[in-house]
Each structure stands twice: as C-alpha cells, then as structure tokens.
Structure 1
Amino acid sequence: MDKIITKLYEIIKESSDLIATEESIQLYMYETFAELVGDIFTHLNQVAKEQKQSEGWKVKRADWKTVQFLFGPVRYHRTLMVDHESQNHYPLDECLGIRNYQRHSPLVEVKVAELASKCTYRDTADLLKEWTAVMISHQTVGSLLKRVGTAQSREDEESVLELEEAAELPKGKKVNYFYAEADGVFVRGTKKKKSLEVRHAIVYEGWEKNGKRVSLKEPKAIMTTKKTAGFWAEVQAFTANHYALQQAQVITNSDGGQGYTADKFQEAFSQSNYPVLNQLDSYHVYQGLNRAFGAQATLFKRQVKQALKAHNLDDLTVWLDTYESTLDETLALEKLKIFRTYVLRNWDRIFDWREKVEQAPKDARGLGAMESNQRHISFRMKKRGMHWSEEGCEAMVKVKQGMLNHTLREAYLHQQNRSARQQRKLKQTIRLSSLLHEKTRQSVGAKNGAIPLYASHSSAMGQLFKTFR
C-alpha cells in the first residue's frame, strides 16, 4: 500500500494537469491490478499442482500464459500435467474455466459481443481502447461476437433436442392468454444479389401501463437465420420450456407471408387445448391499402377501409371494382390487383381478436408490436453498405436475442463447459491457497528467563545481578 501511495504522489507531482493525472492513475491502476491477479493465479497454480501430484499426476512442464482482462493483460505461471490415462491437463485453467488457446477473459468476450451488437466492429474496438485496457482489432471483435453468438445458438439447439427427447412437457408458467407475432427481415449477404432472411418471433403475456406509456408484458424474442422448420422448432421449444399453455388461449399475428401462415402458429403452440387464433397484421393491410390508393385520403380509400373494418366482403368488392373502373395506368391497375389478391387470400384472418374471444382481458389491445421490434435487427444490420456472411448474421441475431431475453451470459458460461464439480474444486483450491499463504505471527520474544551468576552475591557482579530483578 505504501508503494502505491508513493507512486500516486509521484504521478500527481509530475503531471501537468488533472486530465493527464487521471489518465496516468488509470494506467497505473490497470498495471497494478493485472500484476496482482497474475501473482494470485500463479500461487493458485502451485496449490493445484501439489493437489494433483498427491493424486498421482506427473508434471510435464511449466509455462506462462497471458489472458486479456478488462483491467489489462494478466500473465501467470501454469503447469502442464499428465493424468493416469496419459492425458494432458492444465489444472489451473480447468479450475478457472479457461479454454485452450483462450486469449480473452469471459467478461471481455461477452462485453465485446454486447457492444458489437449496437455499433460497428471498428467502433467497438475504438470504444474499448478508449475506456478500458482492452486493445483488439475489429477482426477480433467479429471473431469474439461469433463465439458468443454460437454459444447462444447451441443453447437453443440443445433446448430443441431436449424437448424432442422428453417424455412429457416441462412444467412452465400458467397464463390465461398468450400472444405471439412473427415476421422476417432481409439483410444483404456477402454473395452477390443474395439476401439472408432473419426470422423473428416475439412472445408475450399481455400489456403493462406506466402512466400513459404502454409496453409488452414479459416480452421474449426468438431470432435465427435457419430455415423455416428450424425457426418454428426453436419457437416451440422456447415456449414449452417457459409456459404451460394447455388452458391458455393463444392469439397470434403475422403478415401471412411464406413461412408465417396460420398452420405454422397452430403447430408451434399445439399444446394449447384451444384453436390458435391467427389474425392478419393490420399494419401490412393498411400498407397495401396506401400502395394501391395512394397516401391521400379519398372517398374510395375511406370506403374500402370501412368495409375492411366491418368485415363486409360485398361492400369491399363493390368499391374495389368501382375504383378499378376509374384507372387507366397499368401500374396503378397492377397495384390494385396485388392488394385485392392479398386481402381476398387472407380474408378469414382479417378480424380483431378481441371480438373472437368470449371475454377479453381488461387490458386487451390490438396486436402489431412486431414492426417496432424489428428495429432491433434493422437498425444494426441494414443499410450503411453492410453485408453479412451466414455465420456472422446468425451470431449477431443470437447475441441480440440473448441480450433481449437476458440469457446471453448464462448460455455463454454454460458452453464454457465449467461444471459444478470444477466450481467446487476451484473453491477448495482457493481455500487451501489462503491457508498456505497465511502469514506467521510476529515473535514477541521469551516470556520468562534468567541470567546465570557464576560468582557470590556480595561481589560486584552479584550486586549488578540484583539490579536486574
């Protein structure tokens, strides 16, 4: 501590201003913490080595390893050992949960992925350099994001396999009404003229009000670039692992596009004893209306909208035919034809779900939250000349999903293969290390003693001896 205080005095004395002072103190703090943690890891390695030697393991060699933490690179000594089956191990790395060839701490990897999901790889590298002791390239940022995203993807795949192999459904939360919406977002791929579709679903329990602001209740997201079957398998597995929908009325919403039809929702939420209600997304209906009739309010547009709201097919047909007779341009006729086909193909799905259930909840609202939630993907992955590989796109959306659902760190740590047994071993090693590292008590000297006298008490030495009593 005295050394640290002395160093701080020197920094303050030599710095020209408070900004330079703080920067120098920050750098010194990083260096000091990294050095201390390295010493602790080296000491833990010694304890772990002695433990394994007592179990019959043999020492093969000792070397150094450097791992980048948020506060700086930590360099520590570790021992390579051979077990009874001639397998190589680094006992300390296994206890700490550090992979072979891992160069960044778990927190650094997760933080990099979380930051890269909000800004570009280059901006991520610059921000880390500016605010932490982590100095990495934008290529490394991409590699770390792929690693973390792959961990979340594997966790989802395992969830699907567990559901397929389970003898019965997991016990989940019971709800009376359950809501789900799904749609896709296309992003540019690295191959010429080829896009990648990000399939996206949100599930929630209803709505919550905070003053005048309304938000979804317990929203969860499922995102992937997998094919339609894989996407719906993940939706089904996620829902089954969190909810018991046997007695729940499931209400769903989509634009009716390929891969998002009513039968897909019915299959994904088949555990419900009630038919799954699937309505056509009103945003896409009125978007098609504006394309066919224009943005301006007209008599034809108003009457068609009213017919849609009243679900009156006869009136709709009359007004569409009447408007068509007024058109001369081929492009306008084609737009109207597309709108007519879309509406008639999905006519049975154009309804307000609140009119289809016996008793709608008091806080019931119309569905249509998907479009605003798509911004999580589009704001980060579209435009600005961005192109995505299949691996990078899947990793990015899985990181997004993990952050929205608060499962990213748990999934990452689970895929690190650090078991509960390894955690107990680490605690035992630290406990033994603290006992071995305990300082000896300071000597206070002898409590009793005597000085021998080899002369008579009446002599000069005897008189001196008496004064010591």
Structure 2
Amino acid sequence: MTASTVKLIITAEVAGQRFDLGKVDIQISGKLDEVINQGMQSMGTALYGAILQGVDDGLRETAPTGWQNIGREKRTIMTCVGSVTYKRRVYKDTTGKRRKPVDEVLGIDPYGRYSLGVQQKGSYLASELPYREAADILSWLIRNHVSHSTIGRMIRAVGASLQAEEQDRLEQVFEKGARLEPGRVPAKVLYGESDGVFVPLQREAKKKVEVRVGVMYTGKKVIGVGRKALENKVVVTKIVKNSQEWQETILKTAYEHYDLSKTAQMVVGGDGNSWVKQSFDLLGLPTVFVLDRYHLYRNARRAFGHTHKTETWIRKICEGDLETVLSEMLAVVAKSPPRKADGMKAFIKYLINNRDGLLDPDCRSHLQPGLGNLGGIEGNVDKLVVRRLKGRGRSWRLDGVKAMLAVCRHKEELRLGAFKPFMKSDDGCQPKNTYQKKIDYGEWLQADVPAIHLCHSGRPWAKVLKEIVHPRGVL
C-alpha cells in the first residue's frame, strides 16, 4: 500500500455469523467519491446475499410442520446494489405446491429478475422520461445494463399490479357485504371537473383511444402572488367502456377520500359534453354546472376572431348578459360570408346548449366567494396524460397505455418508495435563520443628496431639484 492507496476491509455479522464482505484498495484521486461508491456497492452486494442467507435460515425454523424440504436452488436477481446470487430452501407444501419462503418475503415473482426496489425506480423514471433514457439512468444507478424493453416490462408488471389493487377496492364499494372505510376529508362544497384526450395506438383494432381524466377538490389556496393551487385534490385517469363505468370509478374515488355525508353542494366543470356533465351523477349530490373557461374562450376566438369585441362579449356572457350578446352576434353573422357564418352559428348553438354553466362562480351567491373560475382540469390533463403519452411520435399498445396511466396515477407513491432516502430531511435538524433585519422606515426622511448641497449645489439643475425637494417657505 502506497501513500495514495487506502485498503478498506469490511466484515458484517448476520444472525450470529460473521461474513467477510471483501477488501477494496481505494486509489486517492480526483474521482475518489466515485471509487468509494463503486467499492461500497460491491460490498453491498455481498451484504445483500449474506442477509438473504440469514433470513432463509430463520424461516427454516418457522416453516409449517407439514412442509417438506426438498433442497436448495440458486437464484440471481438484480437489486439496487447490483446483481445478487443466493441459494434458498425450497419446500413442498401439503398440496404439493413448491414454496420458496425467501422469495415470498421479498415479493419477487416466480420468474422475476428484478427486486421490488429496482422495479419502483424503473417505473418512476419511465413515468417521467422515455424508456431509453429511463433505462440509461437506471443502468447507472444499479451499475448493470438495463434495456429499454426491460423498462417496458417493468411498467406492465407494476401497472398491472396497481390496476388489480384498484379494481379490488372498486369491487369493495359496490359488492354487497363488503366494507371499505369512507374518506375523512371534509367537503362542504365539492368541486369536480373532467375531460377526455385521445391517445394514438399501434397494432390495435382502433387507431386511438380516449383517456378520461377527472379531478376533485374542496377549494383553492393561495401559494403565491396571483397563484392558487387546488386543495385536497384527487385525480382519476382511466380508459372505460362506457359512462357507467366512469361514473362508478368517480364514485369509488370520492367515497375513499371525502366525507360525503357532510357535502351539501357539488360544482361540476367541463367543456359541456354530455358525459362530462354526468360524471358525478352517482354521488347523488345537488349539482350546478360551470362551463370551462378555456373551451369558452377558445371556441369564441375561433368563431369571431381574437378581437376586443370578442373579449367584451365573453365578459358579458360570464356576468349573465347573454341575451344582449346573442343579438350582437347574430348581427355579425348576417354580414359574414357563409363559410365563416357556419362557425359563428355553431358557437351560438354551443352557448345556448350550455347556458346554465355560463355564469361565473363568483357571481353565484351559494358558492365559495373568491374561488374564481374552476379551470383545473386542463393542467391535469397535460401533466397526467399529454406530456407522457402524446407527442414526439409516440404510439402505444392498449395494455401499455393502461399500465402507464396506472403508474402515473401512483407516481408520488413510487417516488417515495424508490427515492425517499435521497429526499431532504424534514426532521427539523437543519439550522433555521431566525435573524430578521429591523428596518427603520424613518431613515429615508433623514437621507441627504450630496449633489444638491456639495459639489453641484451652484448648478441650475441642482437649484431646480432643491426647490422641488425643499420648497421655499417650507424649510
């Protein structure tokens, strides 16, 4: 060992047995942190195998008496610390089925090659990035090659598991005798919005499929100057066969999160489509509809142009003066070319069909004051579906879309499960700067302008400025 080399020897004791995890010669260089990381990861692989051996020995003592030990089998799995090879005992239970207690404890499928932690990391990365980029980052994290097709298989496996869990909870709501604890979030007034977006498919009977998106919340809270966030927000994304299935999914989600027994009013927002208005019907609450302002402004500008008159019309419509605006619009339609007039007539028909939702929420006395327009659905459609499943030439198989939607719905849970150790601690150990500078707002009254009283006091502009600041007869 030279002065530029450090030898590292680590020994671990697991279940009373000592294991030599290996020896590493660390070269002191500019890449010291990377060298240490590689050495610790190789030792972590050895420690992982030693722990599994200790767990297998412990499970031998708790195995049912009717199980027959038929030997050991070798298995290799990819973990967050690298590839781990271990031997575990195999049993045959009373029914003749082969059982591997260690694999069952780890939650590894019979033919699975990746640990739960690796699958969570891969799924979360793929919910944010394309498969190839997610594969490159995951390969760097676990220091083993992972292909983009492997990421796709992870998404399908994790997504299928999440969908099965959601379906089980859905059945508990509607099955007779099944019990599911209702939500506890108070919601005197519950707000709900929904919209749909089409996603392209490949190698399927249809070229595209509609993904329905719903969002529910209890109000808005201020998070900055001119910025508000939805409070107690819950989102739903799903590909459904019909509106009945969509309404049941909405009901299950609302029942799980909100205390609906104390909800007196439901405010529904959307683009005016019939299934959008009916999305929350199964909740059985008194409902009012508010037309989504994004679609209102977009359709108005497409029909009548982006002009000052159009903006004035929209403002009057939202304040309840629809009849006056309709007469002015019809006068414009009479003077327009036939092709352009057809678009204007379609927009007028759109207003008439949704006239119950045109009035602003702030103009309705029974709604929460200061709420403003609803309009939260478009941003959620973009974040939950459009950014990940559309654009850049993407097209999907149907099972892949469903799996990715499930992963995106549970993105926060996957992030916490996969990367929580690397998050900033909230335990209050970080020092807080409690010093606050005291400002004397009277200081500026005593401030002086040297140019007026010293070097430039005799110049014309200085005399004029001095007269403005200190008029004669005042000081």
TM-score by length of 1: 0.78
Change (3 A) 1:96 1:324: same
Matched, 1:373 2:380: yes
1:229 aligned partner, one-letter code: Q
Change (3 A) 1:176 1:375: same
Higher helix share: 1
Check the 8 A contact 2:44/2:81 in 1, yes or no.
yes
Residue 321 of structure 1: aligned partner: 330
Taking the aligned partners of 2:232 and 2:322, their CA distance within structure 1 comes to 37
Change (3 A) 1:150 1:56: closer
Residue 394 of structure 2: aligned partner: 386
Q: Which runs of 5+ in 2 are unaligned?
A: 1-6, 12-21, 418-475
Higher strand share: 2
Check the 8 A contact 2:8/2:26 in 1, yes or no.
no
Moved more, 126-135 or 26-35: 126-135
Residue 261 of structure 2: aligned partner: 246
Change (3 A) 1:47 1:171: closer
Change (3 A) 1:285 1:191: farther
Matched, 1:289 2:300: yes
Deviation at 1:127, TM superposition (A): 1.1
Residue 189 of structure 1: aligned partner: 201
SS at 2:267 equivalent = strand
Selected match of 1:45 from 22, 45, 56: 56
Selected match of 1:395 from 385, 397, 403: 403
Q: Deviations over 1:64-83 (max 9, x none)?
A: 11121111111111111112
SS at 2:359 equivalent = coil
Residue 9 of structure 2: aligned partner: 3
Residue 204 of structure 1: aligned partner: 217
Matched, 1:347 2:355: yes
Residue 100 of structure 1: aligned partner: 110
Q: Deviations over 1:131-162 (max 9, x none)?
A: 33242110110111111122222222122211
Deviation at 1:312, TM superposition (A): 3.1
Matched, 1:231 2:266: no
Q: Which runs of 5+ in 1 are unaligned?
A: 411-469
SS at 2:166 equivalent = helix
Residue 414 of structure 1: aligned partner: none
SS at 1:279 equivalent = strand
Residue 176 of structure 1: aligned partner: 188
Change (3 A) 1:233 1:126: same
Moved more, 375-384 or 93-102: 93-102
Check the 8 A contact 1:69/1:134 in 2, yes or no.
no
Change (3 A) 1:329 1:82: same
1:153 aligned partner, one-letter code: Q
Residue 230 of structure 2: aligned partner: 216
Check the 8 A contact 1:255/1:284 in 2, yes or no.
yes
Q: Deviations over 1:243-274 (max 9, x none)?
A: 1223321111011224212x33222x21x3xx
Check the 8 A contact 2:194/2:377 in 1, yes or no.
yes
Change (3 A) 1:243 1:408: farther
SS at 2:9 equivalent = helix
Matched, 1:90 2:100: yes
TM-score by length of 2: 0.77
Taking the aligned partners of 1:40 and 1:166, their CA distance within structure 2 comes to 45
Q: RMSD of aligned C-alpha atoms?
A: 2.5
Taking the aligned partners of 1:408 and 1:203, their CA distance within structure 2 comes to 23
Q: How does 1:257-276 map to 2 (within 5 A)?
A: 257-261=273-277, 263-267=278-282, 269-270=283-284, 272=285, 275-276=286-287
Residue 364 of structure 1: aligned partner: 371
1:373 aligned partner, one-letter code: N
Structure possessing the higher radius of gyration over alpha carbons: 1
Check the 8 A contact 1:184/1:199 in 2, yes or no.
yes
Q: Deviations over 1:179-205 (max 9, x none)?
A: 111001112111487212111011111
Deviation at 1:369, TM superposition (A): 0.8
Change (3 A) 1:82 1:321: same
Q: How does 1:125-140 map to 2 (within 5 A)?
A: 125-140=135-150
Change (3 A) 1:94 1:356: same
1:233 aligned partner, one-letter code: E
Q: How does 1:69-80 map to 2 (within 5 A)?
A: 69-80=79-90
